[in-house]
A = this chain, B = another copy of it.
């Protein structure tokens, strides 16, 4: 029917109740697509409940390096009627909905929209071929593969891998039988009329990975040996990944009684010289802020991941937002140096994961990695070389070696006033360096102080570290022409959708560039002035209500960005959505 065929550019969306296997099927299918050499971006959306409700997994497959989801859906795979109700309007004309034959949906509703109902007896096939009706989601995915001409071998391979071992063998065989039957029916009955196809590409094998894994892997590469935490969505998977690898990595993972304990244990471990981190979100982060100040005052290197979610308070616990930026910049009483990294891609998550430890040790201060729900859970297929282990340098800053300590003749001063602000650090245990430190303001030797001069000296010493750190911070990333008519500004995980929006707008003939902040504190003031100071029209794009980055930019440079596209409904942007809003907003006002 459809004459023009689109190859390697389509979005699948599988939806159903929590517990129906949406997550595992989506992950498996994504892997198969990646194996077929495609770029894959997979977005998960789930509710704060364990069973029931409505979850979905949206997979975008492309021959381009897509880094965000799009609004259009080409193939909808509903495991329940609710998925059709919720998402039918997203399916484009010519698209299709793969439904179990008995699913109670009026096909006419689809046809009215130019969408094909693909009726396959999924449960029946699962029952018949696999002996278990729970395999119907395998059947659904296989129909999709069949319809898109994706070679069956990729499906088979993933099923085999997912069910290893002897007992797994039988389950794998059953699933493959189900998949085969469904695949054939999909290919035979519905393939010819379906206008989107998957053609395997020659490509180096890609990793399928989400931001939390990338941060965790970065930490592993940096020699992190400690993570203490308290469970909290969406941060928990960082720890769970490290815990699953604890034997290989020799890393201590520690679930604590609360987040207060989690950060303080990390501080204790860091004080002894261990590269240590904690990871949390929302309320957990709030509970940690007293200890953030402790790390600042005692100059203990510490890495804190805040995987942001929609607030305030418990908010939307499984949903997306970028609303802790100003909180991270100003949290805890008083003033002390801190560093804030805001990675926006899987690659940047990896880099932040290892860089954070270097920065923490070099500047002896807390380092935040701000990520968010979207980035924590969305998977992308990337070139393994993008995690360049060769570029990972371990820099421990002014950490005294045993030899240096052996040679020490003067009493060791933990908080020595230096011109850089950095005091050579030792860890407890060496006879030549008895180490005293305290959360009270202190002398160089760590004794508590009351007098003004020593206080001033320490305060200035600490704050001086920020000057050096500023030169170590990577400036915002500019993409697109320097003399653009339109500049899109964002930070963190909006990178993907803005990147795509820029490409789409460019294709529309607009000269547009993109300034992406991935390391925001110490604030890159000079780079900001250079990039935004002369910009013609600037649009700030953030997943929050108040436009926090824009406020920080104005605070630090005076540059005001009145045009804002802000989204705070718990969902990430898509590239086309940004394009629409740019066109309706700033461009319409020309």
Contacts and interface: CB of A to CB of B under 8 A. Distances in A.
Interface string A425-447: 00000000000001111000000
Given A459-B568, A554-B554, A555-B551, A323 B313 contact: no
Contact of A290 (B287, B315, B334, B459): B287
B287 A283 contact: no
A48 interface: yes
Contacts of A218: none
A545 B293 contact: no
Interface stretch (A21-29, A155-163, A194-202, A304-312): A304-312
A130 B488 CA distance: 80
A568 B456 contact: yes
Interface in A279-318: 281-283, 285-287, 289-290, 293-294, 296-298, 308, 310-317
A330 B329 contact: yes
Given A315-B440, A456-B569, A331 B335 contact: no
A537 to B, nearest CB: 17
Contact of A558 (B296, B316, B560): B560
A234 to B, nearest CB: 13
Interface string A321-340: 10110110111111110000
Residue of A335, A438, A552 with most chain B CB atoms under a 10 A cut-off: A335
Contact of A545 (B324, B463, B546): B463
A175 interface: no
Interface residues of A, number: 65
Contact of A331 (B297, B331, B544): B331
Residue of A287, A326, A441 with most chain B CB atoms under a 10 A cut-off: A441
Interface in A127-141: none
A12 to B, nearest CB: 22
B441 A310 contact: yes
A119 interface: no
A335 B317 contact: no
A450 interface: yes
A450 B316 contact: yes
A250 interface: no
Nearest to A452: B569
Residue of A290, A558, A560 with most chain B CB atoms under a 10 A cut-off: A290
A432 to B, nearest CB: 27
Contact of A316 (B294, B308, B455): B455
A570 interface: yes
A459 B327 contact: no
A296 B455 CA distance: 36
Interface in A547-570: 551-552, 554-555, 558, 560, 568-570
Nearest to A552: B555
Contact of A296 (B313, B334, B448): B313
A53 interface: yes
Given A452-B570, A455-B570, A463-B545, A312 B293 contact: yes
A332 B327 contact: yes
Given A329-B330, A452-B569, A335 B311 contact: yes
Contacts of A317: 440
Contacts of A555: 551-552, 554-555
A287 B291 CA distance: 9
A531 interface: no
B290 A286 contact: yes
B293 A333 contact: no
B315 A324 contact: no
Contacts of A297: 311-315
Contacts of A289: 286, 289, 331
A47 interface: yes
A371 to B, nearest CB: 14
Contact of A293 (B293, B313, B321, B440): B313
Contacts of A282: 333-334
A468 B453 CA distance: 46
Nearest to A325: B330
B48 A440 contact: yes
A571 interface: yes
A289 B321 CA distance: 19
Contacts of A332: 286, 311-313, 327
A28 to B, nearest CB: 26
Contact of A315 (B53, B287, B441, B453): B441
Given A287-B287, A555-B551, A440 B314 contact: yes
A56 to B, nearest CB: 12
Contacts of A545: 335, 459, 463
Contact of A441 (B316, B336, B439, B560): B316
A49 B355 CA distance: 42
Given A289-B289, A293-B313, A314-B438, 18 more contacts: A282-B333, A283-B290, A283-B293, A287-B287, A294-B313, A297-B314, A312-B332, A313-B332, A315-B439, A315-B440, A319-B450, A326-B329, A327-B333, A330-B330, A455-B570, A459-B568, A552-B555, A555-B555
29 contacts: A47-B450, A48-B440, A283-B333, A285-B333, A286-B331, A286-B333, A294-B313, A297-B313, A310-B334, A310-B455, A311-B332, A311-B335, A312-B332, A313-B336, A313-B440, A314-B438, A315-B439, A316-B440, A324-B334, A326-B330, A327-B333, A329-B330, A335-B546, A450-B570, A452-B570, A456-B569, A459-B545, A551-B555, A554-B558
